[in-house]
Structure 1
Amino acid sequence: MSVLDNIIFCAFICVVGGIATASQGAVNSKLGQFSGQGLCSTIVFFVGAITSCIYFLIEVKGRPPTDLLSTMGQAPWWAWTGGVIGAVFVIITILAIPKLGAGTTTAIIVCAQLIFSCIIDNFSIFGINYRQYTVWRGIATVGLISCVAAIAKF
């Protein structure tokens, strides 16, 4: 049994991820003030690439699978766009946080993430298992948008 089979552990790491995401924008925005926005994004991804490589080596215990390249070659074209999407996210936070603040920027991003995630579930986009966009999810969407409006206004 993997530790990732534990729902409480998975929820905990999601909380850590949320804290990290909220912090990342503010931290990156501050670095961008000193390095420039483009260089900041480059630095962020360079350090992130090193960190990811270390995690990969830990995950495979220093021995990548011998069929890794052929397995990776089977991925659909859009599965390779994660780095671009991540860069867009980082650049957007670097640009938006000085203007909107960390709270409003993060609220808008999280709201958009949740709404689009429900759309992904409902239409099984990217091969995700179907999960219907119910009336309750619709009500929650209205609540999310209301929360963003309140955070932005006050």
Structure 2
Amino acid sequence: MAGILDNVIFAAFLCLIGGVATSSQGAVNAKLGQYSGQGLSSTIVFCIGAITSLIYFLIEVEGRPPADLAARLHQAPWWAWSGGVIGALFVIINILTIPKLGAGTTSAIIVCAQLVFSCIIDNFQFFGINYRTYTLWRGLATVGLIGCVAAIAKF
């Protein structure tokens, strides 16, 4: 799989699928929350997600986890363990806000915040990410993003 991920076009295609999935996920989770309650909806989503991730993991390692897995996990920085909390926060925020703001406005605000903070992550190399300067062009794009969010929220 690593070989195919070296292809920029294929990686971009996966990102498109991820964008469609993320947009759909918020609306789907919010609908489940209407039937099950918001807290249970989040729990159900993560249980199903955990099973799906486990299946992917078993496929990736061909059913044989690395022998040194425990040692490798022990070396991870403390913040590397926070992804599940961040993911839960994302799902819960979607469940709470989509019924009030709509999927478009909610997604626009989240994507805008995500892009701005991602540029900050690049610029300051947070989380060990390679350096990429927050240039004037990125700054102008940020202003444009905020304008787009305002238009989506207003109209």
Deviation, 1:152, is: 0.1
d(CA) in 1 for partners of 2:46 and 2:70? Answer: 23
Name the counterpart of 2:104. 103
Deviation, 1:144, is: 0.1
d(CA) in 2 for partners of 1:48 and 1:79? Answer: 19
Name the counterpart of 1:152. 153
Name the counterpart of 2:80. 79
d(CA) in 2 for partners of 1:128 and 1:7? Answer: 18
Gaps of 5+ in 1: none
Does the residue aligned with 1:65 lie in a helix, a strand or coil? coil
Name the counterpart of 1:19. 20
Deviation, 1:51, is: 0.1
Identity over the aligned pairs, expressed in percent?
77
Spell out the pairing of 1:108-123 with structure 2 (5 A cutoff): 108-123=109-124
Which TM-score applies when normalising by structure 2? Answer: 0.99
Superposition misfits of 4+ residues, deviation over 4 angstroms: none
d(CA) in 2 for partners of 1:58 and 1:2? Answer: 16
Name the counterpart of 1:69. 70
Does the residue aligned with 2:25 lie in a helix, a strand or coil? helix
Name the counterpart of 1:57. 58
Q: Deviations over 1:54-113 (max 9, x none)?
A: 000000001100000100100000000000000000000000000000000000000000
Does the residue aligned with 1:119 lie in a helix, a strand or coil? helix
d(CA) in 1 for partners of 2:104 and 2:51? Answer: 29
One-letter identity of the residue aligned with 1:91 = I
Does the residue aligned with 2:94 lie in a helix, a strand or coil? helix
Deviation, 1:9, is: 0.3
Name the counterpart of 1:141. 142
Deviation, 1:10, is: 0.1
Which TM-score applies when normalising by structure 1? Answer: 0.99
Does the residue aligned with 2:28 lie in a helix, a strand or coil? helix
Name the counterpart of 1:126. 127
Does the residue aligned with 1:15 lie in a helix, a strand or coil? helix
Does the residue aligned with 1:81 lie in a helix, a strand or coil? helix
Gaps of 5+ in 2: none
Pairwise CA RMSD: 0.6
